[in-house]
Structure 1
Amino acid sequence: MTETATGDERLLYGCMGLGGSWDTTPHSAADVAAAEAAVEAALDSGITTFDHADIYRHGKAEAVFGEVLARAPGLRERIVLQTKCGIRLADGDRPGMYDLRGQTVIRRVEESLGRLRTDFVDILLLHRPDPLADPDELAGALTSLHGQGLVRSFGVSNMSAAQISLLQSRLDLPLVANQLEMSLHRRDWLEAGVLVNTPQAASVGFPLGTVEHARANKIRLQAWGALAQGRFSGNQETPTEQATARLVAALADAKGTTPETILLWWLQRHPAAIAPVVGSVRPERIRACRDAAQGEPRLSHEEWYELWVTARGAALP
């Protein structure tokens, strides 16, 4: 394990589905067994970075993963462990909120370390921007966590270039990652760049310049929702989705791989070197992503554009 994780992974396994139900009931032995099977499938596929958040399954995703680590001596040294904090789920009459106050971040990281049964995490992401966060206070908390050896690297999630720049201006440590929803279905990050100076530009809410800022500052983009919830490799709801799924299947057949891999290659082919997050709990679907974890994306310039234009259901401007 290197001293500082850099976020240079090709593919991540997203652990949101581990731990059982989305409530506070304790996890079961079956939940731990399911987590073990998912982790084994990820490792077999060449995936060694595991993505968590303190809120996933009300903490149970981290807890079952901690049990997996405890049962497998030496596994912690073979993997990169990433978690997130910054979202507080609704509790009784208190609504859900974002909370990046310095002491809250420190406390939530300490709680995550306890559930994960590890002394440190390689990367901590700030899960959502908190409009009330004081960037100086937040930077101080991150610096403290790093100084104590509890977190090796930091990043963000669901943030714009401007939000990242503000935090980075107060923080000496580099922000190494930004995790955003990106897929062949969720293409706002891509559409924003080509709809400049067109009437359609106002219809895209993605903050223009965020992808370019990441590339210019060596911030690794991580793509959550990368498999588009199965829209192009499972059930389709619209004629455009059906046409896209047929193209994905045809390309997979021609290249001797799986539809899941084609969808991940489409993201990885972008020059921002996007690292998709695979979140399925089904071992067979995790293993279907093996080619995306182990080799360069085998999509030509023309094939990449054909997938994009087919999925958008209209010609480019």
Structure 2
Amino acid sequence: MKRIKMGCTTLSIPAMALGIMRMNQKSVPEAQVAIQAAYDAGINFIDSADIYGGGKSEEIFGQAFSQMRIKREEMFIQSKTGIVPGKRYDFSKEHILHSVDEILERMQLDYLDSLVLHRPDALMDPEEVAEAFDQLQAAGKVRFFGVSNFDTAQFKLLQSCLSQRLMFNQLQFSLKHTGMIDFGMHMNMVDKPSVDRDSQFLDYASLHKVTVQAWSPFQYGMFEGAFIDNDGFPKLNQELQKLADKYEVGKNAIAAAWILRHPANIQMLVGSMNPQHIRDSAKGAKIRLTRQEWYDLYLAAGNYLP
């Protein structure tokens, strides 16, 4: 498994993480199979959130992982907080501290390697968040911190009040969600791809050594479904299959290789609980697409160059 530097540190993490959003749909033995498949492929990074399955995903993970032979220190375990489903976003100190205690209990852990704030809270008080982070770190409950779906200004605002460096920003990125790179190639134009919806965060991340974690790497839209083997995207799947045949892997690996080819050292979140899909996706970390192959996939996905 390809390894990348975590944020501004010298610590290395795998270029892929296993997202456990759907683990609530699995039995404990099935969850163990998925975790083991990821671990065997070099993916020793887990990404969770307190809202996944209403907390059930973390409960299943905790039960599964506690019975496995993998040592805790061999895994990097991350969770997210800040969403109160259907009610509000909440970055209050009280909510953050309470959520972490509940996460640790569900996952049967003494600490999290990383805590990520899930979606921007319009009422965020950066100094209050800083107090929560300091308390969690001093108590040994969280080692590192990050955010998810933050724009550049939001990221900089929060960072200005923290004593810790933010390591991560989770952002949607895939062959069918390419906004973070479209506008750069359509600079000084008035067409739709020229609109910057991501406040140039990918460039900011490269400049300031922030690890971008790409979520929904095989999805189109928000949660409409997968584009791989989807009849709605024949040209893209034809190109994926052509390269899959060349590199002797599955389409998942090629779609993953496309993300990891970007020089920003992106970490990709694999959200599948299917051991075969996990193993195939992991193979993408070993493939370095040529520039032409990368652009061929970009164009096959329905994008165009000015």
Report the TM-score when normalising by structure 2. 0.91
Tell me the equivalent position of 2:152. 161
What is the RMSD of the two structures over their aligned residues, measured on CA atoms? 1.8
Q: 1:233 aligns with which of 225, 228, 233?
A: 228
The one-letter code of the counterpart of 1:259 is K
Q: 1:14 aligns with which of 19, 22, 33?
A: 19
The one-letter code of the counterpart of 2:117 is L
1:248-291 deviation line (CA, Å, top 9, x unaligned): 11001011122111101100000111111111111111111131
Tell me the equivalent position of 1:114. 105
Q: 1:282 to 1:202 in 2, by over 3 A?
A: closer
Q: 1:262 to 1:74 in 2, by over 3 A?
A: closer
Would you say 1:303 and 2:298 are equivalent positions? no
Q: 1:281 to 1:316 in 2, by over 3 A?
A: same
Would you say 1:87 and 2:83 are equivalent positions? yes
- Distance, in Å, in 2 between the alignment partners of 1:207 and 1:275 is 18
Tell me the equivalent position of 1:93. none
Alignment of 1:114-193 (within 5 A): 114-193=105-184
Would you say 1:316 and 2:302 are equivalent positions? no
CA shift, 1:232, in A, is 4.0
**Helix, strand or coil at the partner of 2:269:** strand
Tell me the equivalent position of 2:242. 250
**Helix, strand or coil at the partner of 1:124:** strand
Alignment of 1:214-293 (within 5 A): 214-228=205-219, 231-237=226-232, 241-293=233-285
Would you say 1:42 and 2:33 are equivalent positions? no
Q: 1:212 to 1:306 in 2, by over 3 A?
A: same
- Distance, in Å, in 1 between the alignment partners of 2:170 and 2:235 is 28
Q: 2:47 aligns with which of 44, 51, 61?
A: 51
CA shift, 1:196, in A, is 2.4
Which is further off, 30-39 or 274-283? 30-39
Contact 2:179/2:193 (<8 A) preserved: no
- Distance, in Å, in 1 between the alignment partners of 2:248 and 2:105 is 43
CA shift, 1:35, in A, is 1.0
- Structure 2 gaps, min length 5: 1-8
Report the TM-score when normalising by structure 1. 0.88
**Helix, strand or coil at the partner of 2:198:** coil
- Distance, in Å, in 2 between the alignment partners of 1:148 and 1:97 is 27
- Distance, in Å, in 2 between the alignment partners of 1:73 and 1:83 is 22
CA shift, 1:6, in A, is 5.1
Tell me the equivalent position of 1:24. none
1:101-151 deviation line (CA, Å, top 9, x unaligned): 111101101100000111101011100000001011111111111111100
- Distance, in Å, in 2 between the alignment partners of 1:247 and 1:207 is 27
Query: Which protein is richer in strand relative to its size?
Result: 2
Contact 2:32/2:65 (<8 A) preserved: no
The one-letter code of the counterpart of 1:178 is N
Would you say 1:199 and 2:226 are equivalent positions? no
1:44-83 deviation line (CA, Å, top 9, x unaligned): 2221101000000000111111111221244322111010
Q: 1:5 to 1:153 in 2, by over 3 A?
A: farther
CA shift, 1:32, in A, is 1.3
Instruction: Give the length in aligned residue pairs.
Output: 294
The one-letter code of the counterpart of 2:40 is D
**Helix, strand or coil at the partner of 2:213:** strand
- Distance, in Å, in 2 between the alignment partners of 1:200 and 1:139 is 40
Which is further off, 281-290 or 68-77? 68-77
Would you say 1:71 and 2:67 are equivalent positions? yes
Contact 1:183/1:267 (<8 A) preserved: yes
Contact 1:6/1:153 (<8 A) preserved: no
